[in-house]
Amino acid sequence: MTATLTRDAPAAAPKPPAQRPRRRLSVPHLLLIPAIVILLVGMGYPLIWQIVTSMQEFGIKQQFGQPAPFVGLANYFSLATDPTMWEVVVRSIAFCFITAAVTLVVGLLLAVLMTAVGTVVRLILQISLLLAWAMPVVAAMTVWIWLFDRRRGVVNYLLDMIPGVDMNRFSWLSTPITFFIVASVIVIWMSVPFVAFSVYAGLTQVSEEVLEAAQLDGANGVKRLRYIIMPMIRPVIMIVLLLQLIWDLRVFTQITMLQDAGSKSSEYDLLGTYIYKLGAGSQDFGMASAVSIFVLALTLAISWFYVRSLLKEDEQS
């Protein structure tokens, strides 16, 4: 709010040229200071520390007070030549794109469903989504791990009842593919409510008049969705997709808990758990910081499509 005020105030006010070079800080400027300080301390300091550490040899001895030798970009070079690192990167990107895409599709469909059904059904739907969204991750994970349990899990029990399917004691968490399918299902389950609600909010803003006009012009349901509704809620979809991509790239809790139940091997790592293993696990904070900075760069690269589309929209308007 303060930001808009400071920007808009001088433009709206008539400009007396004599007063122009104001030296005194205005009240809005002063009000901004605490927020900036909190941002700098909370976000800036760890970021700078991380960049500095990523260029140091920082192991357990440094943690206990010995000076950390500056090694320049050596950590980054050894990362770039480490095949494990690239396997993790490729796996993480694939995981985040597939999971985010499925989340978006399911969320979209649910949102459309919410606009189509009656109030009672919609309320039931919304409450269930809200419950899934509000469920603490650790509690939800515990139940999910039980569901996929090798010996007593409901999933194996149900699949095994299908004639011709032998899923008795199928170990979901023992091969990377099935491990990540389970992980993906869980992450999708946890993120769909957010997408569904955001898109639903967007859908309620699509004006009835426009849709009615389109209907009169002979557009059927699919065409209305494709040519009227989608373009109108495109900004919502874009930001939701971006957030999903970033969240799914950084996913940590779900993977680490599944690893506790399954395997801790590096074939089951995504970037989050890889960094944790490097840093907290093998006490190589220098390398762990280097990977973190890389992830930051990767996140920026993925977000670029969104920033560019924002810039384009700015040009058009």
Partner 1 sequence: MKRKYAVAAIATAAALVLAGCSSTGGDAASTESAKGQDITLWLMGGDTPDTLRDYLKTEYKKATGGTLKIEEQGWGDAVAKLTTALPDAANTPDVTEIGNTWSPTFTNAGAFTDLSDMYDELGGDKLLKSFVEVGEVDGKQYALPYYFGSRYNFYRKDIWSAAGKTVPTTLAEFDETVKSLKTDTQSGFYIGGSDWRNGISWIFANGGDLAKKDGDKWVGTLASDETVKGLTEFQSLFEGASLAPATEFDSTPWVNINNNEATGVPEAATIIAPGWAHWSIGDLAPDPKDATKTVATWNDDTFGTFVLPGVDGGAAPVFAGGSNIAVSAASKNQAGAKELMKIIFSEDYQTLLGENGLGPANLDYASALGDDQFAKALVESAAGSKLTPAAPGWAAVEGAGILEEFFGKVSAGGDVKALATEYDEKLDKLLN
Regarding 142 and contact with partner 1 (CB under 8 A), the answer is no
Cα separation, 44 vs 82, whole angstroms: 29
Please report how the helices 253-261 and 176-204 are oriented relative to each other, as an axis angle in degrees rounded to 10: 150
Regarding 60 and contact with partner 1 (CB under 8 A), the answer is yes
Regarding 6 and contact with partner 1 (CB under 8 A), the answer is no
Cα separation, 155 vs 148, whole angstroms: 6
CB of 66: closest distance to partner 1 in angstroms?
Answer: 8
Q: Is 272 in contact with 255 (CB distance < 8 Å)?
A: yes
Beta bridge partners of 56: 70
Report the residue from 2, 26, 63, 128 that binds partner 1 according to the rule CB under 8 A: 63
When the beta carbons of 63 and 115 are compared against partner 1, the nearer one is 63
Report the residue from 6, 51, 62, 211 that binds partner 1 according to the rule CB under 8 A: 62
Nearest to 241 by CA among 309, 146, 182, 180: 309
Regarding 247 and contact with partner 1 (CB under 8 A), the answer is no
In DSSP notation, 282-296 reads T--HHHHHHHHHHHH
Regarding 150 and contact with partner 1 (CB under 8 A), the answer is yes
When the beta carbons of 230 and 280 are compared against partner 1, the nearer one is 280
When the beta carbons of 142 and 174 are compared against partner 1, the nearer one is 174
Extract the tokens encoding 13: 């006010």
Q: Residue numbers of the site for partner 1 (CB under 8 A)?
A: 43, 45-47, 49-50, 53, 60-66, 150, 152, 171, 173-174, 250, 252, 260, 262-266, 272, 275-285, 289, 292
